[in-house]
Chains A and B, each alone.
Chain A
Amino acid sequence: MPGRVNRGDMTFTSLQFGLFVAIVFGAYYLPPLRRFQVQLLVLASLVFYGSGQPALLPLLLLAVLGTHLCLVLAFDNRAIWMPAGIVFNLALLAFFKYKFLLVDASTAYPIGFAPLDFLLRLPLPIGISFFVFHNISLLVDLTREKRPPPLRDVFLYIIFFPQLVSGPITRAGQFMPQIVPKQLANVDFAEAAKWILTGFFFKLYVANNLNEMTSYMDYPLYETVATQDRWLLVFLYSYQIYADFFGYSAIALGLGLLFGYRLPVNFDLPYISASFSEFWTRWHISLSSWLRTYLYIPLGGNRKGPARTCLNLMIVMTLGGLWHGASLSYALWGMLHGLLLVVERPFLKVLGEAGPVVRVARMGVVFFCVTMLWIFFKLPNFDHALGYLAGMFTPTDNPNPTKLFRNMALLYALPVLIQHLGLGALASGRLRRWEPYLYGALAALAYLEAGPEAAFIYFQF
């Protein structure tokens, strides 16, 4: 559940965060401080992280310093220290993310050994899945270089605050070369503003308002919802999770640009994908690329025959599902995506040559399947997810079903539809001169129609 994560006060949509960015931005380009730009961003990132989880700052430092140590040692012996660094990071991830598979969370002293019990009682560190993946990328990419990067650069790459909590997962090879002195004159304010305003609009207007409705998908609230509305809610959640994560990623990208760093684009209209393999090149692109580069290809990719390719796809997607959390629902979500990739593989070539009608039909099928699988994402408790699915095919006998304002749901989901139908592209084409006014209207609407505050869904990962 998103709300479970201790977010502190400084989320992207808070006033405190706006002030924080303004102060850091002002100091960053001050001529006397220009020599210390990297250090300033590192300090700001530590403040940002510490404002949410001060108790876990030492863990973040341990992760960075441990990775840096392995990185330096790997220049002497890559065969030992690179795997050691990867194991160190995966152990951190496994400990914090999957510890409750082995110990009982409800007991105060699960082991009986004070230091270990203290660690077990620590909450899930925000963004651990993301910074661990950064660390692994660093160890794999940079140990091939001639010399290790300075510690301050390693720090910046791992904890750069726009991407620290929920990505995008930037590859070290893409980020490290960007660490050079930055000039205010080179900042493209219009582009940064476009990303930030789009992100805020999608988060505040679309995701937060839809969240109000999709909260009825939670157990046992969904029991009060009429059968046809259970179907509607699944589709609304599909739009919500996109708007939420796309919104976060867009804000992160815009913030990165303000400080002179170009983070990778994380979404490319995923719901118009005509195949599941295309979907994964458009949804959470940075995670898909990471998994492909550091897991699928090392496993052999598609180079070892069709059977091994299918197995590799299943392994990667199942692990990708488990990366989100230690629950059967996440594993099944990943596994089913893997299965869909495997099943569609033999037909891709034939279907790829079909006409536009078939392509539209394929888009519909892919969107429908992806949307249905989000149920396992929304309801990590497997029994609840199955209960919800069963409820979609069972008429409810609740005498007072929850009233959903369907017209309002449509109005709040509309931006996702417009964006995917390509109408947004008009603004950058024929209607280009109206573009600033459109973004101004989006900003005003994001403020006026902002839904109740809700944590970014991906904060929990």
Chain B
Amino acid sequence: MMAQMSGLPWLIRCAGAAVALLLVCGLATARFGSALQQPSVTTRDGSLITLHRYLREPVPDIVLVGSSVAWRLKEEYFSLPRFRNLALAGGSPVTVLEILAKQPSLPKIILIETNILSREPDSELIGQFSGRTRAEAPFLRPVRAAVAVHETWNHAPPNAAQARAEQDRLLREPPSMFDNKAYLELALRQMNEGEPTGPVRANVARVSELIDEVQRRGSRAFLIEIPFEAGIEDSRLVTMSKAIVQAAFPDQSPWLPINPPRGELRWADGVHLDERSALIVVRAIESALAERDGARRDK
């Protein structure tokens, strides 16, 4: 009986300390909210932070939904006021479209990236952010919160003028000469593997339904296609996805054609635009939106 007798108080103190620390972290979250759950080092963390922020703040005018391809188009690159990039790295545009459609208020414009439609919607995220009571992370993560505070303190984002100047500097530079051959080969191999026709068809059908739904509620939805590197454009996944999307949306009206100078674009890892190229694409999206707006006013 000796071991147990001496072990019990030890276990009680140990459990007490654990519970006390959890309580403190729970109360800290209740007090400060999920804003401290940064920085994100996983795609899941990033998705949670993006969605928490969207639901916490006033509804923006324009949102962009999509995968990691659109995720590279950083919000600070856009000069449009009240713009939010809700693209989820490693995710499907359907996930956020579903979440948006379940909110009481919608943005005026929803841009839907159609490059990667082979991934299943994340039902867990949809459930978590669609209900009346949104599931906040229950506990503060002390180490990550401390790092977030340190990062924010030391690397505060530049003001609008500084950011604009930095972007202009980047655009004046020549395109990168980085050799992405190894990535391109790997990406091509992955994009020529498997049989994703089923998920793409299901996603496109659901996107179509959700577009109808949000448009009925007064929002405008546009499909956009972000350019890929030539080799990737010819991959099985991309050609097949394009054919299915084009067949589902043959009319040009839901499309927002963007025409960035392709020769200037670079994909550092074979699939995702580098910083300068993302900036060029953002400018192309902005001018396409302005054109569409102008055409609408002319009518």
Q: Which residues of A contact B (CB under 8 A)?
A: 184-191, 193, 197, 212-213, 219-220, 223-224, 397-400, 405, 407-408, 411-412, 435-441, 443-445, 447-449, 452
CA separation between A224 and B19, bound complex, in Å? 41
Contact pick for A400, options B8, B147, B275, CB 8 Å? B275
Q: Lowest 7 CB-CB distances: which A-B pairs, in order? A: A440-B17, A189-B7, A436-B13, A444-B21, A440-B18, A437-B17, A190-B7
Contact B268 A399 (CB under 8 A): yes
Is B183 interfacial (CB-CB < 8 Å)?
yes
The majority secondary structure among interface residues of chain B is helix
Residue of B nearest to A220 (CB): B182
Is B286 interfacial (CB-CB < 8 Å)?
no
Contact A441 B151 (CB under 8 A): no
Q: How far is the CB of A431 from chain B (nearest CB, A)?
A: 13
Residue of A nearest to B187 (CB): A220
Contact pick for A399, options B8, B41, B178, CB 8 Å? B178
Given A185-B1, A223-B183, A399-B268, A440 and B274 touching (CB < 8 A)?
no
CB-CB under 8 A from A405, the residues of chain B are: 39, 41, 147, 151
Contact B147 A411 (CB under 8 A): yes
CB-CB under 8 A from B266, the residues of chain A are: 399
CA separation between A447 and B142, bound complex, in Å? 11
Is B4 interfacial (CB-CB < 8 Å)?
yes
CA separation between A188 and B19, bound complex, in Å? 22
Given A398-B178, A399-B178, A399-B268, A408 and B144 touching (CB < 8 A)?
yes
Contact A190 B274 (CB under 8 A): no
Is B25 interfacial (CB-CB < 8 Å)?
yes
Residue of B nearest to A192 (CB): B7
Q: How far is the CB of B100 from chain A (nearest CB, A)?
A: 26
Q: How far is the CB of A428 from chain B (nearest CB, A)?
A: 13
CB-CB under 8 A from B275, the residues of chain A are: 399-400
Tell me the residues in window 65-100 of chain B with beta carbons closer than 8 Å to chain A beta carbons: none
CA separation between A435 and B7, bound complex, in Å? 12
Q: How far is the CB of B155 from chain A (nearest CB, A)?
A: 10
CB-CB under 8 A from A223, the residues of chain B are: 182-183
CA separation between A90 and B7, bound complex, in Å? 43
Is B177 interfacial (CB-CB < 8 Å)?
yes
CA separation between A220 and B176, bound complex, in Å? 19
Q: How far is the CB of B171 from chain A (nearest CB, A)?
A: 13
Residue of B nearest to A188 (CB): B3
Residue of A nearest to B176 (CB): A399
Residue of A nearest to B15 (CB): A440
Tell me the residues in window 244-296 of chain B with beta carbons closer than 8 Å to chain A beta carbons: 266, 268-269, 274-276
Contact pick for A440, options B1, B6, B21, B179, CB 8 Å? B21
Q: How far is the CB of A410 from chain B (nearest CB, A)?
A: 10
Contact B13 A400 (CB under 8 A): no
Residue of B nearest to A257 (CB): B3
Tell me the residues in window 8-37 of chain B with beta carbons closer than 8 Å to chain A beta carbons: 8-11, 13-22, 25
CB-CB under 8 A from B144, the residues of chain A are: 408, 449
Contact A443 B14 (CB under 8 A): yes
CB-CB under 8 A from A407, the residues of chain B are: 147, 150-151
Contact B183 A184 (CB under 8 A): no
CA separation between A441 and B13, bound complex, in Å? 11
Known: A190-B11, A219-B182. 13 other contacts (CB 8 A): A186-B3, A193-B14, A399-B274, A400-B274, A405-B41, A407-B151, A411-B146, A436-B14, A437-B16, A439-B14, A440-B14, A440-B21, A452-B42
CB-CB under 8 A from A220, the residues of chain B are: 182-183, 186
Residue of B nearest to A209 (CB): B41
CB-CB under 8 A from A219, the residues of chain B are: 182
CA separation between A411 and B146, bound complex, in Å? 10
Residue of A nearest to B1 (CB): A185
Residue of B nearest to A442 (CB): B18
CA separation between A231 and B30, bound complex, in Å? 40
CA separation between A108 and B151, bound complex, in Å? 52
Residue of A190, A400, A412, A436 most packed against chain B (CB within 10 A): A400
Is B54 interfacial (CB-CB < 8 Å)?
no
Is B141 interfacial (CB-CB < 8 Å)?
yes
Residue of A nearest to B276 (CB): A399
CB-CB under 8 A from B276, the residues of chain A are: 399
Contact B142 A449 (CB under 8 A): yes
CB-CB under 8 A from B18, the residues of chain A are: 440-441, 443-444, 447
Is B156 interfacial (CB-CB < 8 Å)?
no
Contact pick for B13, options A185, A397, A437, A452, CB 8 Å? A437
Is B143 interfacial (CB-CB < 8 Å)?
yes
Q: How far is the CB of B150 from chain A (nearest CB, A)?
A: 6
Residue of A nearest to B17 (CB): A440
CA separation between A272 and B168, bound complex, in Å? 51
Per-position binary interface string of chain B over residues 192-228, scored 1 when its CB falls under 8 Å from any chain A CB and 0 otherwise: 0000000000000000000000000000000000000
CB-CB under 8 A from A212, the residues of chain B are: 41-42
CA separation between A127 and B121, bound complex, in Å? 35
CB-CB under 8 A from B178, the residues of chain A are: 397-399
Cross-chain pairs A/B with CB under 8 angstroms, 15 sampled: A185-B1, A185-B2, A187-B3, A188-B7, A193-B7, A398-B178, A399-B275, A405-B147, A412-B143, A437-B17, A440-B20, A441-B18, A445-B21, A448-B140, A449-B141
Residue of B14, B140, B177, B269 most packed against chain A (CB within 10 A): B14
